[in-house]
Chains A and B, each alone.
Chain A
Amino acid sequence: MSLLELKDVTKVYNDYVAVENFNFSVTDGELRCLLGPNGAGKTTCIDLITGRQRLTSGAILFAGDDICRLPEQSIARLGIGRKFQVPAIFKELTVEDNLEVAFSRKKDPFANMMTLHRSYGQKRYDEIVELVGLKDRLSSQAGLLSHGETQWLEIGMVLMQDPRLLLMDEPTAGMTEQETMKTSEIFNSLKGSHTLVVVEHDMSFVREIADIITVMHMGTMLAEGTLEEIGNDPRVKEVYLGSEGLG
């Protein structure tokens, strides 16, 4: 059964069509890569799924339910986590507090007024800290982290939410090669236990992690298939990969 399903999704801004009749579905436990040149509509799609923008027509189903009219926080609570393209973290809080804010299942202000304890020491919390490798940085102010660490912190925060579906918008943007390697390790360890949609430009990274790739172009689906199929697709070569191909 598909966990996420986009049906004929269209988004129009004034006179510009960002996404047009886009169909897309992700099954439980899958890691899907979303590829495409700038302006193909990838981030718009993520925005539409998470409720940051409203679609013009079509439907978005999550676990069978239509979610396209829910506010952002309700969508998040259903189990969709999102990492932004430009890392978004709480800069003035410590790394520990950042993760703490993300960890909570209680979302009500009055319930949280009664909560004094912190989650450090709980199993899942410690595992995630270990996974994203920020154990030594827990008491640092998040605004002081390096770019790569900031990306990992946000990935860690999204994992803390314990979502059923993780949407990762360019998780390796601005990372060094070693950092990208480490990130692909993180993603590979998430495979199977989590469902992920990863928007990416970095082909070496996509090669490391991808099962199935969806290629977008001008707001529509261009091709979908395994790494090999996509690499041999002449249309993909033409519009996106240019003469380089998938190498």
Chain B
Amino acid sequence: MSVNDFWTPFALLPFLNALIIGISLISIWLIAALGLTIIYGTMGVINMAHGEFIMLGAYSTYVLQTLIGIPFLLCLPLSFLILAAIGWVIERGVIRTLYRRPLDTLLATWGLSLILVQGVRLIFGGEPQYVGVPSWLNFQIQADFIHLSGLRLFIIVMAIVMVAVTWFLLYRTTLGICVRAVMQDKEMAASFGIDANRIYSLTFCYGAGLAGVAGSMFGALKTLFPDMGGGYIVEAFLVVVVGGVQLAGSVLSASLLGELNSIFSYFTNDTFARFVLFTLVVVFLRIRPQGLLAEKMTRR
């Protein structure tokens, strides 16, 4: 980069393409943030290892696909199950003892992420690995201003599917009512016979599973490194925080942040866009600390 070509002047067609790249970015951030939203929203647990869950999802897809030969589409649900199982173990082992100490959970899960990154590095080595993209996704949509790969289109569709499924589970099933009850008031829910701990376990498993699916797709999109999870975690957290820790809020904030990011990147470059976006988020939270959608006040 040289200083002179820092600023890209406006031109309609490339700009439209930037907006479409933005949609792809939205889907990626949303998928990464979905599990976090559910886990933080329900349990109040900041899972710093969420990025590493995504990484594990990618590596499990790699193992399933390359070493066992399972087709890509089948790897998605299998990654979900594997990560849900890992999530269950972690919830039982570490998270459960820290429910009333959110800051400590944040730190403990960060310690966990160190272990997961190093563990994977020891097993698979530090060199990059690849998840093969199935042939039926090997197409490009090419028009005047649209350049979109089949895989990116698939991820956009999957983002919609995952949000829809999560929405359905939360708002249209008995289990979802229990989850939302625990979310609002744990003690009250418990007095109605809801086993809050079981709900927490299930939520954490589901959130981890979502990270697994995310990992499968991100693995196909990019190269696999043991520390690839770090590349998603900050953006995912910002989506959650700006959205006000709500499903609809996360969708909205992912859309906003994703588009803003690609517009900034269009005019300047990726890194500078990131800097501006993060600063904007800090300023935004100054004005609306409760996020885009949430409004709540504790009684005392």
Contact = CB atoms under 8 A, between A and B. Distances in A.
Q: Do chains A and B touch in the complex (CB under 8 A)?
A: yes
A43 interface: yes
Contacts of A86: 300
DSSP class of B's interface residues: helix, strand, loop or mixed?
loop
B187 to A, nearest CB: 13
Interface string A77-100: 000000011101000000000000
Interface string B155-187: 000000000000000000000000000000000
B299 interface: yes
B284 to A, nearest CB: 21
A36 to B, nearest CB: 16
Interface string B257-300: 00000000000000000000000000000000000000001011
B100 to A, nearest CB: 13
Interface residues of A, number: 6
Contacts of A85: 299-300
Contacts of A43: 299
Interface in A43-102: 43, 53, 84-86, 88
A134 B299 CA distance: 28
Nearest to B298: A86
Nearest to A169: B300
A84 B299 CA distance: 10
A86 to B, nearest CB: 5
A43 B299 CA distance: 9
Contacts of B299: 43, 85
Nearest to A44: B299
A43 B297 CA distance: 13
A86 B300 CA distance: 5
Interface of B: 297, 299-300
7 contacts: A43-B299, A53-B297, A84-B300, A85-B299, A85-B300, A86-B300, A88-B300
